[in-house]
């Protein structure tokens, strides 16, 4: 079942069938109708490989995501995927994990599949060591590279980020204005986003005229109750703490549990701020106040930008979106 069968049955040449297929105007309505009806009758579907061979594209975008079981990333992938399809593009999804070598391999794999562009979802694709980002730059020589929550200043790389620095910076000021003095910042992975947040935190502390205790910026394990225990032992060693900011909601959950164990009142004795406005935030008691980084906007903006790039438009290579402070029970 191919274009020849259709042309034969419709009594026209394959060129005409192809024209109908591609919406070419130079076809009389009669023949067009004839061809369309034959196509329907035969249940004809053009072969994407042959088409791809000629056009050297399958209208497919590669998505790279370190871990689609992470709620934030999963949501981003969801919105991206929807938006792409709305624009007539399909997507290859690759979950790379967090190791540089795998990221490189999967990116290469996607390029070998002749994707039209690549979207890197999440700040884990930006390595602290500059040279380690060369694989992204070299990819940009072949196709447009879109980054969500990562920034690389290079031609053909387009970045959409939320302003993590400002969000944390502002939040410190906000909480400090309530009279809180002993801040902690909990983070988990050593991603670019975490580093940015930490900078915002330190600068915010300084701007508020406060000082940080040793270990006040704390790297936490990937387990909520373990994190709670660490906080407890930190506290029992005499550390003071009346405000905890975090790089993600799950850490704030741990903080809530920590407060619960000690009978600390939230938010009077301890204010806690999550990050990402995820589902976890409405499971705790009280519910989490959290910084919303607008995954949906981030994702859709990325796709829209990509579409403009593919159309050859001149597009700025950095778009920043501000975060929102969501007030619920753990901070105000």
Using CB atoms within 10 A of its CB, is residue 71 exposed (0-12), middle (13-18) or buried (19+)?
middle
Which of 2, 82, 156, 317 binds DNA (CB under 7 A)? It is 2
Which of 27, 146, 216, 270 binds DNA (CB under 7 A)? It is 27
Which of 3, 94, 120, 241 binds its own copies (CB under 8 A)? It is 94
Show the tokens assigned to 314: 């001149």
Q: Which of these ranges, 46-54, 147-155, 225-233, 316-324, lies near DNA under the rule CB under 7 A?
A: 46-54
Q: What are the CA-CA distances from residue 172 to residues 111, 258, 265 (Å)?
A: 42, 20, 19
Find the angle CA(289)-CA(242)-CA(201) to the nearest 5 degrees.
Answer: 70
Q: Helical H runs in 99-248? A: 100-112, 134-140, 164-176, 192-207, 224-236
Number of residues that bind its own copies (CB under 8 A): 44
Which of 22, 29, 49, 214 binds its own copies (CB under 8 A)? It is 49
Minimum CB–partner distance for residue 64 and DNA (Å): 24
Which of 14, 58, 137, 310 binds its own copies (CB under 8 A)? It is 58
Does 97 engage in binding with DNA (CB under 7 A)? no
Which of 16, 189, 247, 250 binds its own copies (CB under 8 A)? It is 250
Task: Work out what residue 19 binds among DNA, its own copies, none; the CB cut-off runs from 5 to 8 Å by kind.
Answer: DNA
Q: In the complex with DNA, which residue's Cβ is closer, 53 or 207?
A: 53
Q: What are the CA-CA distances from residue 131 to residues 18, 121, 127, 128, 192 (Å)?
A: 47, 20, 8, 9, 15
Does 1 engage in binding with its own copies (CB under 8 A)? no
Minimum CB–partner distance for residue 120 and its own copies (Å): 16
Q: What per-residue string of b and e applies to 100-129 under the rule 16 or more CB within 10 Å gives b?
A: beebbebbeebeeeebbbbbbbbbbbbbee
**Contacts with its own copies, 98-137, as mask; x by CB under 8 A:** -----------x-xxxx-----------------------
Does 224 engage in binding with its own copies (CB under 8 A)? yes
Q: Which of 124, 121, 118 is nearest to 148 (CA)?
A: 121
State the distance between the two ends of the chain, measured CA to CA, in whole angstroms. Answer: 65
Show the tokens assigned to 1: 């079942």
Nearest-angstrom CA–CA distance, 87 and 94: 20
Task: Work out what residue 94 binds among its own copies, DNA, none; the CB cut-off runs from 5 to 8 Å by kind.
Answer: its own copies
Instruction: Give φ, ψ of 330 to 5 degrees.
Output: -100, -5
φ/ψ bin of 11: left (φ > 0), alpha (ψ from -120 to 50), beta (otherwise) = left
Q: In the complex with DNA, which residue's Cβ is closer, 19 or 103?
A: 19
Does 40 engage in binding with its own copies (CB under 8 A)? no
Residue ranges that bind its own copies, judged by CB under 8 A? 45-50, 52-53, 56, 58, 67-69, 71, 74-75, 77-78, 81-82, 85, 90-95, 109, 111-114, 224-225, 250, 253, 257, 260, 279-280, 282-285
Residue ranges that bind DNA, judged by CB under 7 A? 2-4, 11-16, 18-19, 21-22, 25-28, 30-32, 44-47, 49-51, 53-56
């Amino acid at each position: 079942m191919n274009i020849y069968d259709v042309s034969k049955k419709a009594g026209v040449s394959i060129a005409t069938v192809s024209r109908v297929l591609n919406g070419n105007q130079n076809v009389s309505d009669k023949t067009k109708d004839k061809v369309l009806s034959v196509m329907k009758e035969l249940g004809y579907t053009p072969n994407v490989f042959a088409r791809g061979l000629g056009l050297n594209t399958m209208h497919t975008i590669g998505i790279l995501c370190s871990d689609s079981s992470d709620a934030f990333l999963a949501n981003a992938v969801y919105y991206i995927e929807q938006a792409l399809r709305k624009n007539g593009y399909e997507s290859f999804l690759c979950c790379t994990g967090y190791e540089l070598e795998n990221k490189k391999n999967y990116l290469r794999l996607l390029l070998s599949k002749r994707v039209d562009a690549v979207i890197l979802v999440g700040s884990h694709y930006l390595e602290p060591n500059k040279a380690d980002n060369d694989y992204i730059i070299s990819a940009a020589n072949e196709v447009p590279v879109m980054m969500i929550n990562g920034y690389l200043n290079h031609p053909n790389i387009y970045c959409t980020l939320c302003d993590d620095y400002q969000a944390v910076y502002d939040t410190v000021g906000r909480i400090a204005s309530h009279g809180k003095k002993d801040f902690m910042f909990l983070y988990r992975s050593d991603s670019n986003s975490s580093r940015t947040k930490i900078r915002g935190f330190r600068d915010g502390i300084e701007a508020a005229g406060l000082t940080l205790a040793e270990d006040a910026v704390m790297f936490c394990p990937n387990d909520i109750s373990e994190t709670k225990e660490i906080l407890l032992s930190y506290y029992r060693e005499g550390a003071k703490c009346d405000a905890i900011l975090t790089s993600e909601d799950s850490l704030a959950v741990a903080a809530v549990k920590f407060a619960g164990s000690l009978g600390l009142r939230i938010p009077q004795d301890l204010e806690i701020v999550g990050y990402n406005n995820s589902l976890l935030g409405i499971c705790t008691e009280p519910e989490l106040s959290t910084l919303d980084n607008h995954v949906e906007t981030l994702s859709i903006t990325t796709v829209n930008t990509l579409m403009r790039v593919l159309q050859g438009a001149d597009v700025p290579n950095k778009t920043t979106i501000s975060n929102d402070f969501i007030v619920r029970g753990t901070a105000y």
